[in-house]
Amino acid sequence: MTTFTQLNEQDAPGISIHPDRRISKINPNIYAGFTEHMGRCIYGGIYDPGSPLSDENGFRKDVLEALKTLNIPVVRYPGGNFMATYHWLDGVGPKDQRPSRPELAWLGTETNQFGTDEFLKWCEVLETEPYFCLNFGTGTLDEALAWLEYCNGTRDTYYANLRRKNGRQEPYNVKYWALGNEVWGPWQVEQTTKEAYAHKAYQWAKALKLLDPSIQLILCGQDGTASWDYYTLKHCMLPVNSPLSTSGVPLIDMHSIHLYTASSSHLPNATAPLAAERAIEITSSLIDLARIENGVPNDQVRPTICFDEWNVWDPIRAEGSKGAEETYTLSDALAVGVWLNVFIRKSKDVGMACIAQTVNVISPLMTTKDGIIKQTTWWPLYLFSKYMRGWTISAHVSAATYDGETSPKWVRGVKDTPWLDVSATLGEDGYVNVVVINIHEEKAFETKLDGPTGEVTVFTVTGENPTVTNMKGKEEVGISESTWSAQGSYVFPKHSLTLLRWKA
């Protein structure tokens, strides 16, 4: 949690950090990933069996090595919009018997050479948990139950035995399952209404948890600010043993929301993720409202928010049907830093967040036939995933604000937009970690810091200007490491992300 006092432009900013004031535990799942059968995310991204850089499974070793440094806890699969016409049985069993199908989300052809068993094997190699999204378009409840049985079944039943026949004796124990993806959107095959979705989602949830009560189910929300979110929460977040369900466990564990931000202008781009912060706040209130209106008892676990698609993405400059391969700038890296600051500040409410996507498609990591490229946005993600864990702690920022146009425009009326965007954590190792993002294009800020003691390790991400990239044959944005004595003020460079780290 970070509080804010607005100063005049001529006043020197200040930041106070309070390690003794723990606000909320940070769920490691905020550093989750997302892989979709889209562009080069799967084929040529994580799976490239013809490459000398791949292992015996066809997995790109350089991609795995890079992703392991992020300590990714969960990866969502196989979509996304792709899910609306995907049938999981096409992607299991002997590869020479798997059908190729027209793919309607991104207008491609799906060969099904990479499917359930390949993805779950990849997760085991990466040491991450899988998160599956169910087909709420052309799929059926029987198909969903069969997939759950295939993955988690332990009995002598048809789909559990099919898994064994395909070479996997023990269950995979897939914990996270989404009840559809963006089914409110006109781009979806089998787009539906909030009324029809809420009824279907709750009935599917009841059946899925009868088969496996241990799983966690994620409701399909919109962006957290829509009537869709209110209606689906109101009609699906019911007390245990309500008249619609005899289940002894809650049927809905998380509520999913999605948002992408982007602007061609630096300052609207860097402040755009504050829209996500307001969306989380609104969604949290809608969860409380649904629980109050439905009489959910206080001892029933409160659902959290699953922000399972987020990133900087301009679908005009990186069109989805053409692979959505973004070239990210320093400005985009600072925006990703603000996104991650939001998740730290709102850790009480966020149970999972999945950057979309993990490789090649609107991704911080790109593959070539010769290796990988770490885009500008890789570096804030790396620093956060390595250091910003444990507990969100209290911080207070006093600073002047950016008062210009925002994207979306409504951010201007609902959020402060200080020049310094801040979050702070206390790790289990006893270290305080503070991220300060100076979004100003032209001005460094000499800032009084109240809290740091002893020697402070400093990591800085910046570049010559907000437009520089890492996609032109040289790395123009990376991490520089230094130390600071914690004496006097600290100067945060213009257009920079700084992580300060010291022993509490």
Provide the whole-model pTM.
0.97
Q: What is the per-residue pLDDT across 25-68, written as a single tens digit (0 to 9) for each?
A: 999 999 999 999 999 999 999 999 999 999 999 999 999 999 99
Tokens representing residue 43 in the block: 């084929």
Confidence of residue 125 (pLDDT cuts 50, 70, 90): very high
The CATH number covering residue 373 comes to 3.20.20.80
The residue type found at 493 is P
Read off the pLDDT of each residue in 200-219 and give the average, rounded to a whole number.
97
Q: What is the pLDDT of residue 26?
A: 98
292 phi/psi in degrees, rounded to 5: -65, -50
Q: What is the pLDDT of residue 474?
A: 86
Q: What is the pLDDT of residue 472?
A: 80
Q: Output the average pLDDT for the chain.
A: 97
Q: What is the pLDDT of residue 173?
A: 98
Residue 485 structural domain: 1-501
Question: Which residues, other chains included, contact 191 with Cβ-Cβ below 8 Å and sequence gap of 6+?
Answer: 183, 184, 185
Q: What is the rounded distance in angstroms from the CA atom of residue 375 to the CA atom of residue 419?
A: 24
Q: What is the per-residue pLDDT across 270-303, written as a single tens digit (0 to 9) for each?
A: 999 999 999 999 999 999 999 999 999 999 999 9
Tokens representing residue 477 in the block: 């944005």
Report the 10 Å Cβ neighbour count for 126.
Answer: 20
- Residue from 220, 348, 355 nearest 285 by CA: 348
Catalytic residue positions, numbered: 182, 309
Confidence of residue 430 (pLDDT cuts 50, 70, 90): very high
Q: What is the rounded distance in angstroms from the CA atom of residue 26 to the CA atom of residue 425?
A: 9
Q: What is the per-residue pLDDT across 88-110, written as a single tens digit (0 to 9) for each?
A: 999 999 999 999 999 999 989 99
- The vertex-124 CA angle with 119 and 125, nearest 5°, equals 95
Q: What is the per-residue pLDDT across 164-199, written as a single tens digit (0 to 9) for each?
A: 999 999 999 999 999 999 999 999 999 999 999 999
Q: What is the per-residue pLDDT across 318-340, written as a single tens digit (0 to 9) for each?
A: 998 899 999 999 999 999 999 99
Q: What is the pLDDT of residue 389?
A: 98
Q: What is the per-residue pLDDT across 358-406, written as a single tens digit (0 to 9) for each?
A: 999 999 999 999 999 999 999 999 999 999 999 999 999 999 999 999 9
Query: What's the total number of domains in the chain?
Result: 1
Q: What is the rounded distance in angstroms from the CA atom of residue 50 to the CA atom of residue 314?
A: 31
- Radius of gyration of the chain from its Cα atoms, rounded to whole angstroms: 23
Q: What is the per-residue pLDDT across 232-247, written as a single tens digit (0 to 9) for each?
A: 999 999 999 888 777 7
Q: What is the rounded distance in angstroms from the CA atom of residue 290 to the CA atom of residue 268?
A: 33
Q: What is the per-residue pLDDT across 150-165, written as a single tens digit (0 to 9) for each?
A: 999 999 999 999 999 9
Q: What is the rounded distance in angstroms from the CA atom of residue 495 to the CA atom of residue 267?
A: 10
Q: What is the rounded distance in angstroms from the CA atom of residue 438 to the CA atom of residue 402?
A: 11
Residue 447 pLDDT exceeds 80:
yes
